[in-house]
Amino acid sequence: MVSLDLTDRRSPKIIKTRQNGYFGDTEYKCAGIVAHLLGEHVEVIDDGKEQSSVDLKIEYSDGRMGVGEVWCDANEKYVAMAHELRTNNGNYPFIIYCNDLDRSWQIGVSENTKIKVCKKELPIILKNLEGQVADLSKFTPIEKMSDDFIEVAELKKLKILNLVSYPPIDGKPKIILRQPPISGDPKNFSWELLLKYVEDNLFSDKLDTHRRKLSKYIDNEASKIERHFMFCLTDSSPDDVWHTLSDLVEGPFKDPELPTRSPKLPIEISHLWILNLLGTQIETVICWFPDQGWIYPRKQWKTN
């Protein structure tokens, strides 16, 4: 195997700004994955100075070229809430220890949940709920719980999404606050669900700027410049979409399942990468190349 050939052309200021973002330096990490799979020279080039500049450049040893754009599917309000979870607690997940409880709880919060208010009110609400609801041992959406309980109304007021209860480990009850996707529904995991979500976004107005950047390289047919798009799912993407990628590829399967059809792509995109981000880490990656179909990169790394 050859060594990773990755160069960062951005200024120290831009690099620091990217590294301090909620998802970390996604452009650099994506460039590393591209270089890792292809075994070719990849550069991170978008320094923020030109609005028309793509994020990545690929230089093949045989003279071919490629460019790439990175996009994170993220809800700004949700990202701010997730940042609050980490900032207030110093780590993740956000844990509230409470000896008055008989059970431990995992709570799914939304972008509208006020974490500080939860820290104060949840121990009381859940203590009252413990003696009234027979079974919350499976993730239960708050909207499906009976309004007969005043505690349910209080949870809705806190903008809680779902919850689950279980016996405490080592006898130490605690409340764990997590942002979705806290639990997807395996019945809904399907490549068609994932591909349709990705395709709808690729053709949407929200990606106009990214498509325009790549469109400059369409007419240069002689050089056959590849136009890669890195579609990054985040924990603010729909639960079942996020879990589909993670569970179907790396869940209970020794050999990954991959989609059975090609993606429908805008003309500006020739190569598609779909990634799961979990905080600042890239958890799962698959990609589609027009001459190879779907690829599971971890089985085909070309570099050390």
Length of the chain: 304
Both 193 and 291 in one domain: the answer is: yes
Instruction: Give the residue carrying structure tokens 């027979």.
Output: 134
State how far the Cα of 35 lies from the Cα of 64, in Å rounded to an integer: 14
Does the pLDDT of residue 90 top 60, yes or no?
no
Same domain, yes or no, for 192 and 247?
yes
Give the pLDDT confidence score for residue 3 in this predicted structure: 85
Which pLDDT value is given to residue 189? Answer: 81
HSE on the CB side for 203, CA within 13 Å?
A: 10
Please state the rounded mean pLDDT for residues 26-52: 88
Q: Are residues 14 and 62 in the same domain?
A: yes
Query: Does residue 70 share a domain with residue 189?
Result: yes
Distance CA 159, CA 179 (A): 12
Domain boundary residue among 109, 144, 172? 172
- pLDDT greater than 80 at residue 81: no
- Check whether residue 12 and residue 69 sit in a common domain: yes
Domain count, the chain: 2
Are 123 and 215 contained in the same domain?
A: no
Let me know whether 197 and 293 are in one domain. Answer: yes
Region 19-37: mean pLDDT is: 91
Does 147 fall in a domain? yes
Residues 128 and 198 in one domain: no
- CATH code at position 32: 3.40.1350
Query: Among 46, 41, 47, which Cα is nearest to 66's?
Result: 41
Q: Kindly state whether residues 255 and 118 are assigned to the same domain.
A: no
User: Cβ contacts of residue 264 below 8 Å, gap of 6+?
Assistant: 195, 199
Domain span including residue 66: 6-76+184-299
pLDDT at 91: 58
Q: Is residue 93 part of a domain?
A: no
pLDDT digit string, tens, across residues 139-169: 888 888 887 789 989 999 999 988 999 888 8
Higher pLDDT, 66 or 141: 66
How many CB atoms lie under 10 A from the CB of residue 80? 11
| Rounded percentage of the chain residues whose pLDDT exceeds 90 | 45
How far apart are the C-alpha atoms of 135 and 121, rounded to whole Å?
A: 22
**pTM above the 0.85 mark?**
no
Does 192 share its domain with 285?
yes
Burial class (CB in 10 A: 0-12, 13-18, 19+), 295: middle
**Tens-digit pLDDT profile for residues 50-65:** 667 899 999 999 999 9
The answer to the question of residue 285 being in a domain is yes
Distance CA 31, CA 55 (A): 9
| Tokens, residue 49 | 């100075």
Per DSSP, 205 falls in state G
In a domain, 157, yes or no: yes
Residues 14 and 58 in one domain: yes
Domain co-membership, 130 together with 206: no
The percent of residues in the chain predicted with pLDDT above 70, rounded, is 89
Q: Report how far Cα 209 is from the mean position of its chain's Cα atoms.
A: 21
pLDDT of residue 231: 98
Comparing 7-11, 28-32, 224-228, 237-241, the range with the smallest average pLDDT is 237-241
